[in-house]
Structure 1
Amino acid sequence: MAEKATILLIDDKENIRTVMSELLRSEGWTVFSATNGREGLSKAIHHEPDVIVSDIRMDDIDGVELFHLLRSRGYAIPFIFVTAYGTVEEAVSMLKEGAVHYLTKPVNHSDLKMTIHSILKSKSAAGTTGSRRLVGSSFQMESVYGRIASLARSNSTVLISGESGTGKELIARAIHEQSRRRHNHFVPVNCSTFSDSLLSSELFGYEKDAFTGANRRKTGYFEFAHGGTLFLDEVSELSPVTQVALLRVLQERIIYRVGSTEAVAVDIRLIAATNRNLQDLMATGNFRQDLYYRLNVVPLDVPALRDRPEDLQPLAKYFIERVCLREGLGNVEVHPLFYEPLHDYSWPGNVRELENFIERLLVIHRPRKLTPELVKDEIPAGLPDAAVTVMSAVDVRRRIINAIIAAGGNKTTAAKMLNMPRRTLYNKLRQLKIGDTELEL
C-alpha cells in the first residue's frame, strides 16, 4: 500500500510540472504545483507538504532562497532539488545546508520516485508528525525570521526574551534546525519544573551511588546535547547555585557529573529564554551579572501577539486547519467575518492562548461553520489588566495611523495591510478617536 503523502512540485516550466505531477499522482500521492518560488513559499506554508521537489533556477525567488526562507520560519520540510548540470555544484552545497537530495535534468522518473519513497520511509521510521510552526507575515515576525537565519549561521549563545506563549521554544528550534548542528539533538529544558537539586542532576548527570536512589550512572542534558543545541527555558528560575554551575560550563565547556571529579568536555550551542526582565533581577541580586552577560551574547526579542494584530487571522487559520485535521473534523466552513471579533481582545496569553481558544471552539461546539457570534460567546469575558489594555490600545492606534499614512490615506489598502476587514478598521478609528488631522501625510 502506498504511503499517504503530500508533494509540492515547483518548476517554472509547464510541461515539466504536468509530466511530473502525473508521475507522482500515479504513486497515490497528493500533488500541489507552483510556477515560481514565491507561489511555492505560499503553498508550502499553507499545505505543509511531506516533500518539496524544486527547480533551483527560477525568476523572483529561486529554489535556494525558498529553502532558506522556509528554514528560517521553522519548516524542516525535506527538499529534493532538480538541477541542470550548470547548477550541480550549487545543489551539492545545499546538501550541506540540509537539503535531502538532488537530481539532474532530465530527471530519471524511477530515481525521483525512489528518492521520495526513501524520504517518506525515513520520516515514518522517525515518527515525524506535523509539528507546530512559526506563522505570521507581520514586519515584526519578518524581522524575527531574518534574525533566525543569521543566528543559525553562527554558534553564539542566544537569549530569547518574550512573554509567555509567544513561541520562544519554536524560535529556538528553528535556529537549531537551520544550523550546522541540526543533525544532532535539540534538547529543551524548562528550568522552572525542577527543584534545585533535581535540576543539577538532570543537567549534569550523575554517577552510580552519587546519592540515595542513584542505582546507575545517568547522562545529563548537557552530555545528551553534545554536538547539538541545549535550550534552557525560563532561565530566570535558576537558583544561585545552578547559576554558578552554568556559568562555569559556559566559561570552560566542561561539566562534572554529580558524584564525580572527572571533567567531561561538552560541545553544545546554548539558547536560553526568559519571560522576565533579567536586568531587574540583577538589580535585586536574584540573577548573576556575569551569567547574564554570558547568556546575552545575541539577544532576540519576540513580539507579543497584541503588537502584531495582522498575524491574528493567519494564526487562527493555521490552528483551525491543525485542529480539524487532528480531530477528524473535516473541512469546517469559516464565515468571512469570523476573524473580526478576535481583534477586540488583547490576547494576554499570546499565541498559546489563541491556539487553545480555537481548539476549544472546535472541540466543544464541533460547528459546521465558524461564525463571529461563536467567537463573541466564547471570548474571555474578563478583560486583561488595565496596563496591558492601555498598552495594546496605544500600539494598535500607532499601527493604524502608520498603515493609513503608508497607504497614502487609502483606508481600504490600509485595512489589507493590517490584515483586518475594512469595517473593523472604521470601528477602530471611531473607538480610538483617530481624526483626519492625525492621518495627514
Structure 2
Amino acid sequence: MKKNSALIVDDEPDILELLNITLTRMDFGCILAASLKEAKQALASHKFDICLTDMRMPDGNGIDLVKHIQNEHPDLPVAVITAHGNVDIAIESMKAGAFDFLSKPIDIERLRALVKTAIKSSSPKETLESELLVGTTDVMRKLKQQIHKLARSQAPILITGESGCGKELIARSIHSQGPRSEGPFIAINCGAIPRELMESEFFGHKKGSFTGANSDKIGLFQAAEGGTLFLDEVADLPLDMQVKLLRAIQEKAIRPVGTQAEQKTNIRILSATHKNLQNEIGAGNFRQDLYYRINVIHLHAPALRDRIEDLEVLTSAILDKLALTYESEKIALTPEAIRHLKRYPFPGNVRELENTLERAFTLCEGNTIRHDDLQLAPIQPEISCTQSDELNGQALDKKLEDIERAFITKALEETRWNRTEAAQHLGISFRSLRYRLKKLGMDE
C-alpha cells in the first residue's frame, strides 16, 4: 500500500516514465495521464496528494489544468513542468495557482525536494498568528485569509505598505503557516548592507577571494536553505545587485564570490517595500524584469489608520507582550487614553504604536496609562498621509523628533525656560517633559 498518490500528466512517454520511476521510489502510487481529458477523469475518480503536469498537452495546456484544480480541488498542490528558461510561463502558472514549477531537463534532486515540500503543504497544519497580526476588521480578515492561502504556495510574494505597518510580520506568518515552517526564516534589510559587501552577504565567499576575506562565509541564500528568505526594502538594492539577484531567483542557483561552481538553492523568496516600485522603474532605479519576478503574487499591508477599529485589540496584544517581556503585571489604558490613541493618525503605523505604548508602560504610575503618559507627538497640518508614505522609518522618526523639539523649545522660550510652566503650557506632566528633554538631548 503506497503512502501517497500522485497524478502525472504528460504526453511524452519518456518524461512520464522518468517521473513515474522517481515518485514510485519515493513511495508514491502514480496514475499517468497523456492528456487533459484523461487527467480530469482521474481527478474525478481518485484522491491525489500531488499533481505534476507538463505545459504543452494535445488538448490544451498545463495552466488550464491548474485553473481546473484550483476550482475543483483547491487543496491539491500542482507543479507545472516548463521548457528551460521559460520564466514567463512559470510565472503565469504560479499566478494561476500552481504550487511551483520545474524546468526541463528535469533535475531529479530538485524534483524530490519539490515533492517533499508539496506533501508538507497539503498536510493539516495549525493556523498560527503573529502576536501582533491581530484584528477583526474586514481588511484584516481578508489579509489573514490571503496569508493562509498563499502560505501553501512557493510563488514569490511582494508585500507592499507604509513603513511600520507589519510587512515582516506578514512574511513571518506566511513562513510559519507554510510547508517550510521547520526551515529557517532569514530576514534582511536590503538598505542596511554596505554596497561593497552586498554580493558576499547574499551569496557568501571563499577565503582569500578579496581583501579581508579571512575565512569562508555562507551567504543569506545558503543560510535560508530549506526555508524562506525575506528581502525587506528590496527597492534599496543597487542596480548591479538587482541583476545578480534576478539570476539567482531564475536559476535557483548562486555562485559564491571567489568560486566558479554554482550551488543549487531551495528557498522561497518573499520581498517587501514601502516604495512604489512602478515609480522606481520609471525613474530607472529598479529593473522591470526583477519586479516581474518578485511580484508573482502581490499582498498589501494596510495602514493602521485604515483599520483603526482594531486599535483596542492591537493595544491589548502589545501590552500583553510588554508585561511578559518585563515580567510585570499587565498595564491598562484609561478610556480617555484610548480615545486619544484613536484620534491620532499614526504616521508610523503599528511600529509607532508599539514605541508609544512601551514608553508609556515605562513612565506611567501604577498599572494605568493615562493620556498624558502617551506623549503623542504633535503633527504639523501640512504633513499629509500621502507625503508621509514617502518617508522611510528613520526619516519619519527624525521628522517627528524635529517637530517635538520645536514645540518644546517654543514653550520653554515663552516661559523663560521654567520647565514646570513649560510642561503646563504643553499640557503634559513635568515628568513627561523631563523624559522628552532627555530623549531629545535637550536636558543640558
TM-score by length of 1: 0.58
Could you tell me which residue of structure 2 aligns to residue 166 of structure 1? 165
Q: Distance in 2 between matches of 1:189 and 1:374?
A: 34
Q: Secondary structure at the match of 1:381?
A: coil
Could you tell me which residue of structure 1 aligns to residue 377 of structure 2? 380
| Contact persistence 1:158–1:270 (CA under 8 A) | yes
Q: CA deviation at 1:307?
A: 1.0
| Contact persistence 2:363–2:373 (CA under 8 A) | no
Alignment of 1:173-212 (within 5 A): 173-212=172-211
Could you tell me which residue of structure 1 aligns to residue 299 of structure 2? 300
| Alpha carbons of structure 1 residues 297 and 383: separation in structure 2 relative to 1, 3 Å | same
| Alpha carbons of structure 1 residues 285 and 318: separation in structure 2 relative to 1, 3 Å | same
| Alpha carbons of structure 1 residues 384 and 347: separation in structure 2 relative to 1, 3 Å | farther
| Alpha carbons of structure 1 residues 286 and 148: separation in structure 2 relative to 1, 3 Å | same
| Contact persistence 1:346–1:389 (CA under 8 A) | no
| Alpha carbons of structure 1 residues 150 and 98: separation in structure 2 relative to 1, 3 Å | closer
Q: CA deviation at 1:329?
A: 3.1
Amino acid paired to 1:288: R
Could you tell me which residue of structure 1 aligns to residue 320 of structure 2? 321
| Contact persistence 1:97–1:180 (CA under 8 A) | no
Q: Distance in 2 between matches of 1:273 and 1:391?
A: 18
Unaligned runs of 5+ in 1: 1-91, 101-129, 393-441
Alignment of 1:19-34 (within 5 A): none
Q: Distance in 2 between matches of 1:279 and 1:93?
A: 35
Could you tell me which residue of structure 2 aligns to residue 133 of structure 1? 132
| Alpha carbons of structure 1 residues 371 and 248: separation in structure 2 relative to 1, 3 Å | same
Asked if 1:148 corresponds to 2:147, the answer is yes
Could you tell me which residue of structure 1 aligns to residue 438 of structure 2? none
Q: Distance in 2 between matches of 1:135 and 1:233?
A: 21
Unaligned runs of 5+ in 2: 1-118, 390-444
Asked if 1:362 corresponds to 2:361, the answer is yes
Number of corresponding residues: 270
Q: Distance in 1 between matches of 2:147 and 2:120?
A: 20
| Contact persistence 2:331–2:361 (CA under 8 A) | no
Q: CA deviation at 1:225?
A: 1.0
Q: CA deviation at 1:319?
A: 1.4
Q: Distance in 2 between matches of 1:239 and 1:390?
A: 24
Note the alpha carbon deviations across 1:21-45, whole angstroms, 9 max, x for none: xxxxxxxxxxxxxxxxxxxxxxxxx
| Alpha carbons of structure 1 residues 384 and 216: separation in structure 2 relative to 1, 3 Å | farther
Alignment of 1:42-441 (within 5 A): 96-98=123-125, 132-375=131-374, 378-383=375-380, 385-388=382-385
Could you tell me which residue of structure 2 aligns to residue 125 of structure 1? none
Q: CA deviation at 1:136?
A: 1.4
| Contact persistence 1:149–1:175 (CA under 8 A) | yes
Q: Secondary structure at the match of 1:308?
A: helix
| Alpha carbons of structure 1 residues 384 and 145: separation in structure 2 relative to 1, 3 Å | farther
Q: CA deviation at 1:335?
A: 2.4
Amino acid paired to 2:358: E
| Contact persistence 2:132–2:314 (CA under 8 A) | no
Q: CA deviation at 1:382?
A: 2.9
Note the alpha carbon deviations across 1:379-438, whole angstroms, 9 max, x for none: 11234643228999xxxxxxxxxxxxxxxxxxxxxxxxxxxxxxxxxxxxxxxxxxxxxx
Q: Distance in 1 between matches of 2:199 and 2:368?
A: 50
| Contact persistence 2:160–2:301 (CA under 8 A) | yes
Q: Distance in 2 between matches of 1:366 and 1:174?
A: 35
Could you tell me which residue of structure 2 aligns to residue 48 of structure 1? none
Q: CA deviation at 1:359?
A: 0.5
Q: CA deviation at 1:209?
A: 0.5
Note the alpha carbon deviations across 1:161-198, whole angstroms, 9 max, x for none: 01110110110010011111111111111101111221
Amino acid paired to 2:378: A
Q: CA deviation at 1:215?
A: 1.6
Q: CA deviation at 1:331?
A: 3.5
| Contact persistence 1:346–1:384 (CA under 8 A) | no
Q: Secondary structure at the match of 2:165?
A: coil
Amino acid paired to 1:379: L
| Alpha carbons of structure 1 residues 214 and 384: separation in structure 2 relative to 1, 3 Å | farther
Q: Secondary structure at the match of 2:188?
A: strand
Q: CA deviation at 1:362?
A: 1.1
Note the alpha carbon deviations across 1:324-343, whole angstroms, 9 max, x for none: 23223313343234311111
Q: Distance in 2 between matches of 1:263 and 1:331?
A: 53
Q: Secondary structure at the match of 1:267?
A: coil
Amino acid paired to 1:228: G
TM-score by length of 2: 0.57
| Contact persistence 2:206–2:259 (CA under 8 A) | yes
Q: Distance in 2 between matches of 1:299 and 1:99?
A: 24
Note the alpha carbon deviations across 1:193-213, whole angstroms, 9 max, x for none: 111221210110001111112
Q: Secondary structure at the match of 2:259?
A: coil
Note the alpha carbon deviations across 1:340-384, whole angstroms, 9 max, x for none: 111111000000000000000111234432233544xx1112346
| Alpha carbons of structure 1 residues 200 and 168: separation in structure 2 relative to 1, 3 Å | same
Q: Distance in 2 between matches of 1:140 and 1:189?
A: 27
Q: Secondary structure at the match of 1:251?
A: helix
Q: Distance in 2 between matches of 1:94 and 1:154?
A: 8
Q: Distance in 1 between matches of 2:211 and 2:276?
A: 37
Q: Secondary structure at the match of 1:386?
A: coil
| Contact persistence 1:255–1:263 (CA under 8 A) | yes
Could you tell me which residue of structure 1 aligns to residue 38 of structure 2? none
| Alpha carbons of structure 1 residues 322 and 216: separation in structure 2 relative to 1, 3 Å | same
| Contact persistence 1:226–1:268 (CA under 8 A) | yes
